[in-house]
Amino acid sequence: MNPADWLPHRPPFLLVDTLVAIEPGLRASGTWTLRGDEWFFPGHFPGRPITPGVLLLEALAQVGGVAVLADDRYTGRLPLFGGVENARFRRQVVPGDTVLLETEMTKLSARGGKGHGRATVEGHVSVEAELFFILADRT
């Protein structure tokens, strides 16, 4: 499944390559494969490229956005980041890694919500966090 069918994001800021599963309003998962030619690697860090943690959080938020937007109640809305809590970075993500991104909604209302995101590489946790969002109109 193509994330661009659900999200307004576009390259270079669409950070999900493929959607694996969607349960509208509940959870979604997807993958992001880091090829090594991404725009951020030359500066983060020269000679030792590491995916910025904030971009991993954004990728989790994008997957969560798919779970929200797949729910008919939120058609035409725009989920925006509202905050992050309890973010823990446990493994670096480097060129060649494929990240499995999983976000489960734990609270969802007409105004926004909360989800738990987890990114793993080969079964090892890279980052986990609580993600908060608000729902805005797209216009």
59 phi and psi, to 5 degrees? -60, -40
Contacts of 94 (CB under 8 A, 6+ apart): 34, 49, 50, 51
Residue 9 bears catalytic tag = no
Q: Which of 9, 44, 116, 124 is catalytic?
A: 44
Instruction: Measure the CA dihedral 84/91/30/2, to 10°.
Output: 90
Put the strands of the sheet holding 77-89 in their side by side order.
18-23, 27-33, 98-108, 112-121, 124-137, 77-89
| H-only helix segments in 13-127 | 53-69
Beta-strand pair 112-121/98-108: antiparallel
Catalytically active residues, by annotation:
44
